[in-house]
Amino acid sequence: MKETFEIVLSMYDSYNGTGMQMALFFACLIYLFVQKKEKEKRFLFLGYALLFFIVCFFPVTARIIMRVCIGEEVYWRMFWLLPSAIVTAYTAVQILMQMEGKAKRLLLFALLLAVIALTGTNVYNDTVFERKQNWYKLPQDAVDICDLIRQDADANGIERKKLITVNDLVTHIRQYDATIQMPYNIESIRGKRAETGNAEEIFRIMSRPEKDWASLAWYAAMEGCNYLAIPTEDGVAETLFSLGYQEIGANAAYHVYRRDAEQADYAGKWLITQYGGADGNPLMFYTMQDEEGHLIVVDGGWKEDADYVRRVIRGLGRKVDAWILTHPHRDHAGAFTEIYKKPGKLKIKKVYAVDMAPPEVCLEKSPWDETEVYETWQTLDIANLQYVHAGDTFEVKGLSFEIFNAYDAYVDALSNDLLNDGSMLFRVTAVNESMLFCADVGKRMSDYLLEKYGDALQSDYIQMGHHGNGGLKESFYRSIGAKAAFFDAPDWLMQDTSGRYTTMKNTYLMAECGAKIYSFSTTPNRIILN
């Protein structure tokens, strides 16, 4: 009941706009209530408005209408039945008719028009409405883009046309040429999730001022989008050409590109995505996807992040081929423990984890530590669970995993911080590139790992140890040779200057080494592992 009422209230707020026109409507209703003439019409307007608000806002009737009649997505159209314009016009006429003298009526008429105009909103303030540029009453850019796509498709025998373009043109493209499909519609722009996870990611990328073209190209291929129309921008054409796009035409403001299926070859490549937390806390949550829809999840964050992790996995197909849990700290395994207790329609085929020391031993060594999530983890009956150890290797759908660190006797000998220093440090390798995940491994393990593995640790990308705060030694990070470094940290941790945290120092270190820096300020962050 409460949820339904909140939905209705939210839609009413959107319909209400600035609130001035509805205030004028309610003022007119009050005037009709107190005036004595034409009681039948007065009762009609007042009774209808009262009945409307009762039916529309009462949770039971609202839920029936949503489920049986028009659907929750378009319930806002109910407010079109509100006779605000009719009541306002009728009241204005009543007031004018009571005024004696032509001059007074004209003056009052002008005053009433001014009130309506000043309390309203110019329709051209909304990006959905523009002054007409052609007989179609659509932006000329939309017409030009559609014509270019149609001509190219006809010339090349392309039947299915699916376009990605800026959000301002989405509705206009559909109006002009319904044969051109798009990954999302106006409802996504207004806040409703797109139909697929790939479309949702395309929307997010297109909503950002700076576009991640490589990730956009990946999701375009996954969603079957073969056309792209974007505003003219320096340097973008070269990037798109490198991603397999070819320009098919342009007007003064937009360039239109096409990429055929054979030009979007992602065989053996994986899209790795870093996610951030909504509450400003450090956490670790990554996904890995290939072109065939296989999905690997790394950690997931706090138990409070469980619903968010669920939504991400649902959007990516609901099936997890492998879930990697680096160690059972709450900012890494909390979400997993909540999800595994009630997986719903999510399918988790395999779980890889570290065979950690018992909670009491971890606390005995490090009394300041916490084991709440670890203890919950131990109560779970996890099917297809595989514990890994240093030196192990395994493969998931063609992606290779090498384990360089996991809890074992040597960790006991080097550290008392067992949960962190015993966490899984591993490398994933595709065909030509690799990424090193350091989890929460700290300085005590740096020399041991460098001496044992040396150059074998070198990787193209690196996830920084312990969120980039503390973590491994400078010598370790320099030896990796990574071209990008992922800090699983919010802005307050990345920008701290108190000296309490070493995140900023490590940021400067990795930048000095030539690595691009990623953090929660720009999540979701993505790289394609070739």
Q: Are both 206 and 326 inside the same structural domain?
A: no
Q: Are both 200 and 238 inside the same structural domain?
A: yes
Q: Are both 429 and 456 inside the same structural domain?
A: yes
d(CA 312, CA 87): 47
pLDDT at 70 over 70: yes
Place of tokens 């109006």: 175
Question: Does 128 fall in a domain?
Answer: no
| 180's tokens | 């051109």
Q: Provide the number of structural domains found in the chain.
A: 3
pLDDT of 402-443, one tens digit each? 999 999 999 999 999 999 999 999 999 999 999 999 999 999
Output b/e per residue, 248-283; b: 16+ Cβ within 10 A: bbbbeebbbbbbeeeebebeebbbbbbbbbeeebbb
268: pLDDT confidence band, cut at 50, 70 and 90? Answer: very high
pLDDT of 84-120, one tens digit each? 888 888 888 888 888 778 787 788 788 888 887 777 7
Supply φ then ψ for residue 300, to 5 degrees: 150, -20
The pLDDT, as a whole number, for residue 115 is 80
Q: Are both 259 and 276 inside the same structural domain?
A: no
d(CA 36, CA 39): 7
The pLDDT, as a whole number, for residue 189 is 62
Q: Are both 235 and 274 inside the same structural domain?
A: no
The pTM of the full predicted model, rounded to 2 decimals, is 0.73
Question: Does 129 fall in a domain?
Answer: no
| 9's tokens | 């209230």
317: pLDDT confidence band, cut at 50, 70 and 90? Answer: confident
Domain end marker among 229, 263, 297: 263
The pLDDT, as a whole number, for residue 194 is 67
When mean pLDDT is compared across 44-58, 273-287, 342-356, the lowest value belongs to 44-58
pLDDT of 240-250, one tens digit each? 999 999 999 99
Q: Are both 199 and 53 inside the same structural domain?
A: no
| 315's tokens | 């959007």
The pLDDT, as a whole number, for residue 323 is 98
Question: Does 388 fall in a domain?
Answer: yes
Place of tokens 């962190």: 420
Question: Does 181 fall in a domain?
Answer: yes
Q: Are both 352 and 238 inside the same structural domain?
A: no
When mean pLDDT is compared across 61-75, 263-277, 285-299, 376-390, the lowest value belongs to 61-75
The pLDDT, as a whole number, for residue 513 is 96
What is the chain's mean pLDDT, rounded? Answer: 89
Mean of pLDDT values over 488-513: 94
The pLDDT, as a whole number, for residue 517 is 97
Q: Are both 327 and 249 inside the same structural domain?
A: no
pLDDT of 152-165, one tens digit each? 999 999 999 999 99
d(CA 52, CA 79): 9
Question: Does 386 fall in a domain?
Answer: yes
d(CA 457, CA 438): 11
Q: Which of 523, 167, 465, 518 is nearest to 312 (CA)?
A: 523
356: pLDDT confidence band, cut at 50, 70 and 90? Answer: very high
Mean of pLDDT values over 189-206: 79
Question: Does 348 fall in a domain?
Answer: yes
Residue 463 sits in a domain whose CATH number is: 3.60.15.10
d(CA 523, CA 520): 5
What is the domain extent for residue 148? 140-263
| 269's tokens | 């490549």
Q: Which of 69, 64, 59, 115 is nearest to 89 (CA)?
A: 115
Domain end marker among 263, 285, 318: 263
Question: Residue 199 in 3-state DSSP?
Answer: helix
pLDDT at 128 over 70: no
Q: Are both 440 and 317 inside the same structural domain?
A: yes
**Single-letter code of the amino acid located at 207:** S
| 358's tokens | 């018992």
Mean of pLDDT values over 171-190: 82
136: pLDDT confidence band, cut at 50, 70 and 90? Answer: low
Partners of residue 164 on adjacent β-strands: 228
Domain end marker among 78, 97, 123: 123
Question: Does 6 fall in a domain?
Answer: yes
The pLDDT, as a whole number, for residue 133 is 65
When mean pLDDT is compared across 74-83, 313-322, 468-477, the lowest value belongs to 74-83
Helices (H) and strands (E) in the chain, counts: 22, 21
Question: Residue 487 in 3-state DSSP?
Answer: coil
Compute how many other C-beta atoms are within 10 angstroms of the C-beta atom of residue 155: 9
pLDDT at 50 over 90: no
SS (H, E, C) 5-60: HHHHHHHHHHHHCCCHHHHHHHHHHHHHHHCCCCHHHHHHHHHHHHHHHHHHHCHH
Question: Does 341 fall in a domain?
Answer: yes
Q: Which of 169, 172, 103, 171 is nearest to 137 (CA)?
A: 172
Supply φ then ψ for residue 328, to 5 degrees: -90, 45
Question: Which one has a higher pLDDT value, 235 or 417?
Answer: 417
Q: Is 316 within 8 Å of 201 (Cβ atoms)?
A: no
132: pLDDT confidence band, cut at 50, 70 and 90? Answer: low
Q: Are both 284 and 358 inside the same structural domain?
A: yes
Q: Which of 371, 353, 326 is nearest to 466 (CA)?
A: 326
Identify each DSSP E strand in 51-118 by its residue range: none
When mean pLDDT is compared across 22-36, 236-250, 468-482, 499-513, the lowest value belongs to 22-36
d(CA 340, CA 114): 61
Mean of pLDDT values over 331-337: 97
Q: Are both 119 and 7 inside the same structural domain?
A: yes
Q: Is 136 within 8 Å of 164 (Cβ atoms)?
A: no
Q: Are both 240 and 326 inside the same structural domain?
A: no
Partners of residue 289 on adjacent β-strands: 271, 295
| 368's tokens | 């300041």
pLDDT at 38 over 90: no
Which residues lie below 8 Å from residue 335, measured CB to CB, with a gap of 6+? 285, 299, 300, 301, 302, 303, 305, 306, 308, 309
